[in-house]
Each structure stands twice: as C-alpha cells, then as structure tokens.
Amino acid sequence: MLNKKSWFFITIISLAVIVGSIYFYKRQKQIQHQNPEKIVSEVKTYFMNVVGSYILNETIMYKNANDQLEAFQGGVTTLHNGKRIYYDFYANAKTGEVLDIIECK
C-alpha cells in the first residue's frame, strides 16, 4: 500500500514530467521553419505576369547588414514586354519575412 510520502513523490515526479514536456514542446515549436511553399506563394504576389517560380527546401545562412539569418532561397520568373525577367529572393526561414529581392541580369 502507498503511504502519504510515496504519493507526494509520485505527484512531484508527475508534475516535473508535465512541465518538462510543455517546455520542450514550446521550444520545438519555436525552432520550426515556415512552409516554403507558402513563402513562394506570398513572394509571387509581389509580381505581375509570373510564369515560373521555385524555392529551395534547404536553408542557407544569409548575411544581412548586421547579422546572419537562416533563410530560404528562391526565384521568380516574370514576363514583361515579351521578355523574361528573373529575380532571386531570400526569406527568413523562421518568420517567413522576405529579406531581399534581387533582379538577375
């Protein structure tokens, strides 16, 4: 039979496991990256007459003015006056924010 001391330790251990599980679940949620397909769909809204697009599913380290960020790299092709124009873009992998759009020559 379990006495009061045993119940106390079982309760403390159970609470520690629950709190630890919640902590690691929230931490894992913060580490996750945004959906790359959602990011490329958002970037395509910045352009007119989009004829093609891509995004790499692996992240790269993008060097910003002050710091380095984990980012997705992708590209968009548009049609303007019968000519194809190519753009590269970089988006923050954690927030989905577009960091830079560069016209390729």
105 residues of the chain, pLDDT tens digit each: 678 888 888 999 999 999 999 988 888 776 778 889 999 999 999 999 999 999 998 989 999 888 888 999 999 999 999 999 999 999 999 888 999 999 998
The one-letter code for the residue type at 101 is I
- Extract the tokens encoding 85: 């124009």
Domain boundaries, the chain: 1-32, 33-104
pLDDT for res 41? 92
CA 40 to chain centre: 12
At the second CATH level, the architecture of 33-104 is Roll (3.10)
96 dihedral zone (left: phi>0; alpha: psi -120 to 50; beta): left
Query: What integer pLDDT is reported at residue 27 of this predicted model?
Result: 81
